[in-house]
Structure 1
Amino acid sequence: MSRIDFMPQAVLFDMDGLMLDSERAIIDCWREAARELALEVDDRLWFDMIGMHEKDYVPMMLRTMTEQQVHALREACHVRYHRRIDAGMPLQPHVLDVLGDLQGRGVPRAVVTSTQRERAHLKLRTSRIASFFEIVITGSDVIEPKPAPEGYLKAAAALGVDPARCVVFEDSAFGVRAALAAGMTPIQVPDLIAPDADTRALGHRIATDLAEAYALLPRADAAMTA
């Protein structure tokens, strides 16, 4: 992969799946909730919902469930998931190294997530990475969630930087499309779902982990190996 050919004015991060190892946790919670309610749900649904805002995944659930079942399933899942959030979500590999180096270099940082505001801030606090970010844009702060570019454009505006000079770290295809639509440079670090042919055809960089992604930034490779 070619390195980024400009020094970014800011680096923007997705949260779930990219920094927090939370996708596995939420899938486990969906499964447990479905078993508790004696609902037979195709396991593929949970994976298809990864990276989606609830306004998009609820209609998917309604294709095979009643409104009452969807409501009960979401409530049962959220109770379980909140317990895990309170305990602190585990971090993905290299997150602290990358955030610490960016902070040390004075590069502005923001989170752009589809998670609703209260839960997003709680996740960042209990995982002890909230202090690394000047700006957090959540699903509560936008009208159109990813893959729309609104969240990323709001983050750039809040930081006072040019979207074209922003690098975005994302794990999902929705996030990559949002970053591209915002005119930013995304680097994808897939978590549970490998990029499909349509996603790869977008032509962006795809890394195996956050350290490899960060090494594509100017000076980052030297910083990570120093």
Structure 2
Amino acid sequence: MRLQSAIFDMDGTLLDSMFIWNDLGPGLLRRQGIEPEAELSQTLKVMTLRDGAAYCKARYHLPQSVEEVILQIEAQVADFYENQVEAKPGVQKFLSLLKMEGVWMYVATATDRHLAEAALRHAGIDRYFRGILTCTEVGQGKESPEIYERAMRRLRSNKRDTVVFEDALHAIETAKAAGFRVCGVYDDSAKDDQEAIKALADYYLTSFEEMFETTAP
């Protein structure tokens, strides 16, 4: 895999964290005695935190304001990111290898900045990245390639020499359609999409341990 720069998604790619996001919406509703629709987690998966909170309020007629919903969710997520989250197996070794080879790296995430910074810090991998971009800051989710385009410009690179690492099919579709090379990374949250991801991605990893082994001397 030839690259001079790399753009990493965070949740489900670098961090073993998707399970908490998948239960946030349903959990919020059930605590209020509301049974969520079966597909709610899938619907929220492509949304930013704010968009997801607004969707739940409108769809389920929640009494809280969107800001109050966000605060409830953030409190739960913040505790997890600040005290529990871990990097996926092999991630730290792989990032260390890339850094030694002079590869510049950026994080492109749908998670808000203060949460992302806490998560990367607790997982012990924040030092490998030259910066973070969030969908909130960019003003668009990963149905748009803008977050990848902007990260690439900050890395002073180009699409030929940049690889985007993603676990989610919709994000991989976006990056590929924009002309990026993409490495699909397996995560349990997207297990039903793996055949489509394998067919679309330029590279595919079941884990970063595998990537470290294949790149090691």
Shared fold, TM over 0.5: yes
Provide the residue aligned with 1:99 in structure 2: 95
The one of 193, 204, 217 equivalent to 1:206 is 204
Cα distance in 2, alignment partners of residues 204 and 46 from structure 1: 27
Confirm whether residue 36 of structure 1 aligns to residue 31 of structure 2.
yes
Provide the residue aligned with 1:178 in structure 2: 174
Cα distance in 2, alignment partners of residues 16 and 149 from structure 1: 18
Q: Deviation per CA, 1:29-66: give whole Å up to 9, x if none.
A: 44443332112113431243224323553565356311
Provide the residue aligned with 1:12 in structure 2: 7
Confirm whether residue 64 of structure 1 aligns to residue 62 of structure 2.
no
Cα distance in 1, alignment partners of residues 11 and 83 from structure 2: 16
Q: Deviation per CA, 1:96-117: give whole Å up to 9, x if none.
A: 1111111111111111111122
Cα distance in 2, alignment partners of residues 145 and 163 from structure 1: 20
Provide the residue aligned with 1:54 in structure 2: 49
**Structure 2 unaligned runs (5+)?**
none
Provide the residue aligned with 1:193 in structure 2: 190
Quote the offset at 1:177 in angstroms.
2.2
SS at match of 2:151: helix
Q: State the number of aligned residues.
A: 214
Q: Deviation per CA, 1:64-100: give whole Å up to 9, x if none.
A: 3115367465443322222111204122121111111
Cα distance in 1, alignment partners of residues 158 and 59 from structure 2: 43
SS at match of 2:121: helix
Deviates further, 96-105 or 191-200: 191-200
**Structure 1 unaligned runs (5+)?**
none
Q: Deviation per CA, 1:117-164: give whole Å up to 9, x if none.
A: 222222212222110101211123212221211111111111111122
Identify if the C-alpha distance between structure 1 residues 115 and 203 changes in structure 2 by more than 3 Å, giving closer, same or farther: closer
Confirm whether residue 150 of structure 1 aligns to residue 146 of structure 2.
yes
When you count helix as a share of all residues, which structure comes out higher?
2
Do 1:52 and 1:174's aligned partners in 2 also have CA atoms closer than 8 Å? no
Provide the residue aligned with 2:110 in structure 1: 114
Cα distance in 2, alignment partners of residues 105 and 158 from structure 1: 19
Identify if the C-alpha distance between structure 1 residues 107 and 27 changes in structure 2 by more than 3 Å, giving closer, same or farther: same
Cα distance in 2, alignment partners of residues 112 and 168 from structure 1: 9
The one of 17, 25, 28 equivalent to 2:20 is 25
Quote the offset at 1:199 in angstroms.
5.3
Provide the residue aligned with 1:165 in structure 2: 161
Give the TM-score of the pair, scaled to structure 2: 0.84
Do 1:148 and 1:177's aligned partners in 2 also have CA atoms closer than 8 Å? no
Identify if the C-alpha distance between structure 1 residues 205 and 62 changes in structure 2 by more than 3 Å, giving closer, same or farther: farther
Deviates further, 175-184 or 104-113: 175-184
Cα distance in 2, alignment partners of residues 79 and 56 from structure 1: 17
Give the TM-score of the pair, scaled to structure 1: 0.81
Cα distance in 2, alignment partners of residues 110 and 83 from structure 1: 24
Deviates further, 82-91 or 188-197: 188-197
Cα distance in 2, alignment partners of residues 66 and 75 from structure 1: 17
